Structure 1
Amino acid sequence: MADSVNFVVLGDQEVAASLGKKGTATDMTMYDKKEAGVIRTYTTPSGFPDKVQPLLQVINLAEYVIFHVNKLDKFVGEQIIALDMLQKKNGLLSHTYDVDENTLNTMIKNTVLVNYPRITQDKIKEESDKLSQISKEGNARVVIDHCFDVKGVGTVILGKVEQGKIKQYDTLKLLPAGIDVLIKSIQMHDDPVDEAVSPGRVGLAVKGVSPDQVGRGDVLCAPGPEQISTEIEIDFAKSPFYKGDIAPNQMCLINVGLQIKPAKFLSISPLKLTLEKPVLYNKGDICVILKPESTSIRLLGSGTIK
């Protein structure tokens, strides 16, 4: 079975096209390659900077970061803050010659990016190829990023085996909906396989659910510690870069994994949120609060779910 390594490519997103072959393209675009028994996937938030949501989603999909900075602006700042909030500690940092290194150093000070090895652009492929698979043991869990209908096949789900292992003919629960879903077949890098382990990217032909019942961020899993709720409390830290005030009854969006949900502040200390639609989480998951309409930074702050 091939190993799998998943990258998010930030800064200059064009870098991804030199690393793999273009595949699924929506507000996130995926490039992949299979080389020496390893499938590497490089995902860019192609809907960013117009929208901040895809940025958080693609970071959550990756084990590793490739950050090639080609200019310094508020959007680079947002990417740095997002990586730090989501605690993405494994990455590579490079920049073009016209980027001022001192300014970049100031921007990444006190963030996880301080520990990223600095490399030149021509070394991105070589250095990223050295990074190996990071698997997560536990109950089978697939996080979904796309779902559509394929003529003659039916419902097809694209996602990442976040944890554990899945096999052909497994029946898993689609959460938060609670629907039983049978896996008819599994593909990895367009090749049929009988099983897939974390953190493999998979295409699943499934039975028991239609595409309109599946949303990005939904999870296919064996029963485990997942919790579903319309009210959460988080151990919140506000971003020093967000200048607005937050108050009870204000609306916002929250991001947990690949889920993006509208929410309202119930209380500020402790920070409690109420949601129109249930969110799926494990205790300790990171929740990022965002305000897409903000004219400055769109990331308010983050914290772990209690």
Structure 2
Amino acid sequence: MPVLNVAVLATESLLRSLGKISDSRDVESYVYKEGEGPERRILSMIRPLKHPESLRPLLSTLNVADSGIIEVREINAAIGEAMVAYSSSKVANGHIIINPKDGDWIDPEKLSLIRDQAGLESWKIHDSLPDPHEIRSELLSRVRTDTADEEVLVSIDQHFVVKGIGLVGIGYVRSGIIRKHDSVEIYPGGHVGVVRSLQVMDDDVDFAIAGDRVGVALRGVQDNILDKGSQIVGVGSKLLTRMEKSKIEINISVFQKNVLKVGDVVHMSCDLQFIVGRVESVSGSSMVVVWDRPIDVRTSSEKPPLLVQLDAGPMRIIGAITDIHPV
């Protein structure tokens, strides 16, 4: 089903005006559907919870988002960090909605300056709460109806065992198309299984395309092979590269004053994975990181991995990883 995933930092009331809640975990999902049959288009609006206290839900949301909404109740460090995170994740289109707390005022020109410095120049600023129909219409116009000819990758963030069916993984199709009865490999581990069935939006389907949130029932595998961050690819795929140590190039984030040094603990967020590592060497924007376990990641993607440092203060986004290879 053609769908646009939208990363939303906003109040619950704003989201309820745009869609119907469908799921709640470390993020809340709101869905709006328009049209029927092959003409149907879907907005999946994903709201990370506990931000700014917890950074990981926001990063996981940005891993899969192609557009964004930020509601600004006040200008503070958390808003600046969020804008940098969206920009670093290549979320090039979105809406910034000014909705100050009672009695407060937000200067649109100051907010515009922060937006531009963060790299979100193409985002539209609304001086007040817009008509929900206006926002939905603009977002619906960005729903992709084409399916790129890419290798399949499904990133998993939930899993469970269903009696009579077996192991089920829930996640997002990151690229390509996954089909019922496909033979697949699951990483880490390289386990080979077969797609028993697929569900999208609670409907049984024969295939799921990039952007879909999909339930994948697997057969021919043990019940304990999936974890949060597991990756599903086609059998024989070379899409993922295994690394224990990586050389990476970083596009350092604007507003980032911290300089990484040898021994620092960092995390990499990519394809619903949140991987911990330690800096082994640094030379400008290039560094070598040793991961706490072997990892399986893409070395090329339109949406770059993000490197973060959780104890770096108000700006935890170190930057976007522009190149990563094993060493």
TM-score (norm 2): 0.85
Written as runs of structure 1 = structure 2, the 5 A alignment for 1:98-177 is 98-119=105-126, 120-122=129-131, 123-133=134-144, 135-177=147-189
List per-residue Cα deviations over 1:103-149 (Å, max 9, x = no partner). 21121123431112334532322322332226443111112122223
271, 275, 281: which one aligns with 2:291: 275
Kindly indicate whether the alpha-carbon contact (under 8 Å) linking 2:251 and 2:322 is maintained by their aligned counterparts in 1: no
2: CA distance between counterparts of 1:250 and 1:4?
39
- In structure 2, the CA distance between the partners of 1:142 and 1:116, relative to structure 1 (3 Å rule), is same
Tell me what 1:303 maps to: 321
Alignment-derived partner of residue 15 in structure 2: 16
1:253 to 251, 267, 278: 267
For the 8 Å contact 2:84–2:119, the answer to whether it is kept is no
Aligned 1:50-69 pairs, distance under 5 A: 50-69=53-72
**RMSD of aligned C-alpha atoms?**
2.1
Equivalent residue number for residue 44 of structure 2: 41
**How far apart are the structure 2 equivalents of 1:75 and 1:209?**
43
| 3-state secondary structure, aligned to 1:78 | helix
Q: How far is the alpha carbon of 1:14 from its aligned partner?
A: 4.2
Relative distance call for 1:210 and 1:11 in structure 2 (3 A) is farther
How far residue 154 of structure 1 moved from its aligned partner, in angstroms, is 2.8
Amino acid in the other structure paired with 1:112: G
Aligned residue pairs: how many?
305
Partner of 1:182: 194
Instruction: Tell me whether 1:264 sits opposite 2:282 in the alignment.
Output: no
Q: CA deviation at 1:243?
A: 3.3
- 1:208 and 1:29 map into 2 onto residues whose CA distance is 32
**Shift in Å at residue 153 of structure 1?**
3.2
Match in the other structure for 1:294: 312
TM-score (norm 1): 0.91
Question: Which 5+ residue runs of structure 1 have no aligned equivalent?
Answer: none
Distance 1:206-1:295 versus aligned 2 partners, 3 A rule: same
| Equivalent position to 1:71, from 69, 74, 90 | 74
Between 223-232 and 6-15, the greater mean CA deviation after superposition: 6-15
CA distance in 1, matches of 2:222, 2:28: 23
Match of residue 244 from structure 1: 258
Query: For the Cα contact (< 8 Å) 1:144–1:219, is it kept in 2?
Result: yes
Read off the aligned partner of 2:130 and give its amino acid letter. Answer: Q
Q: CA, structure 1 residues 197+237, in 2 after alignment: closer, same or farther (shift >3 Å)? A: closer
CA distance in structure 1 between the partners assigned to 2:176 and 2:185 by the alignment: 15
**Structure 2 residue identity aligned to 1:166:** I
